[in-house]
Amino acid sequence: MKKIYPAKKMLLSLACAVSLACTPAAFASDHGANEAQTDKTPTKTIKAALEGNDQFRYDHRDKHFEPFQDGQVPNLTVVSCSDSRVHTQLFGIQPDNNIFIIRNVGNQVTNSEGSVDYGVRHLPTKILLIMGHSGCGAVKAAMGDYSGETSGIKAELDPLKPVIDADDHQGDFSVRLGKNVERNVDFQVKAAMELYADKLKDDQMVIVGGVYDFQNLYGKGRGTLVITNVNGVTDINKIIAHPVMESIYKGTVVNHVGSLAPAL
Ligand SMILES: [Zn+2]
């Protein structure tokens, strides 16, 4: 009889427990009290993590691990925010051995340049996806006074200054935040284009920017990944026409490309 490990839901609380986005101060306003956090002691959280991983092992067995035990061959490098609301099961792709993912506050390329270099230059993947998300606490914190934060947090927020300087201050705060999240993606794409100019010149890779929108800011449905930038191109029609989109059904492409803010 198949053994069942009832731990999957509790794993979510561990993700939050180790995520910087769940710390107090400037980031705290993104995280109201939620059920997953209220009754979990540290020992229950680590118990859930171990049981959850055992469930995964039981479900997948050796046949899952053997193909990649001696090396990885992912086809996608992703730079994502550490925010625990941004799920790792991107697009439904099984992430193991398929997605090389780097996470930090504000999905920043230059804060993790070595890790991104490894994905792009050594593996190498032909796609680099830089993914922001609606309601990003890092961008929100950078829009305000974060002088009381730790030196580590300040060092990771300071590089967002050019993004915040471009804020047009039009609309209410939530509108401005949404636009700044998209501007940050554009900013990170631009940084990546400079780092990997040689590979772009030879058509060896494509840099894609997008926003994971669980607030439905783009009006395409909660949880949609909205493509906002391809190799620095932010015009919606030009993105739709880009060769990297050619194998995707046109209606699907249209529903996954959008823009809230003019490019930097
Ligand atoms: Zn974020």
Write out pLDDT tens, residues 8-26.
443 333 333 333 333 334 5
Residue of 181, 157, 149, 208 whose CA lies nearest to 25: 149
Distance of CA 226 to the CA centre of its chain: 12
Give me ligand 1 centre to Cα 122, in Å.
27
Average pLDDT, the chain: 87
Query: Which band of pLDDT confidence, cut at 50, 70 and 90, is reported for residue 94?
Result: confident
How far is ligand 1, taken at its centre, from the CA of residue 133, in Å?
Answer: 6
Q: How far is the CA of 8 from the centre of ligand 1 (A)?
A: 23
Fold topology of 72-255: Beta-carbonic Anhydrase; Chain A (3.40.1050)
Distance of CA 254 to the CA centre of its chain: 21
Of 140-154, 174-188, 250-264, the one with minimum mean pLDDT is 250-264
Question: For residue 250, what pLDDT is reported?
Answer: 81
- From the CA of 159, how far away is ligand 1's center (Å)? 14
Q: Which of 191, 166, 196, 184 is nearest to 228 (CA)?
A: 184
| Cα 109 to middle of ligand 1, angstroms | 13
Least confident of 4-13, 86-95, 110-119: 4-13
List where CATH 3.40.1050.10 sits in the chain. 72-255
Residue 244 has pLDDT above 90, yes or no: yes
| Cβ contact 27:141 at 8 Å | yes
134 vs 8, 86, 99, 108, CA distance in Å? 25, 9, 22, 15
Per-residue model confidence (pLDDT) at position 12 = 36
Per-residue confidence (pLDDT) for residue 262, from 0 to 100: 74
How many angstroms is it from 82 CA to the middle of ligand 1? Answer: 6
Contact 89, 95 (CB under 8 A): yes
Q: To 10 degrees, what angle do helices 42-65 and 8-17 make?
A: 110
What residues sit around ligand 1, an ion, with C-beta below 5 angstroms? 81, 83, 136, 138
pLDDT for residue 35: 54
Q: How far is the CA of 21 from the centre of ligand 1 (A)?
A: 7
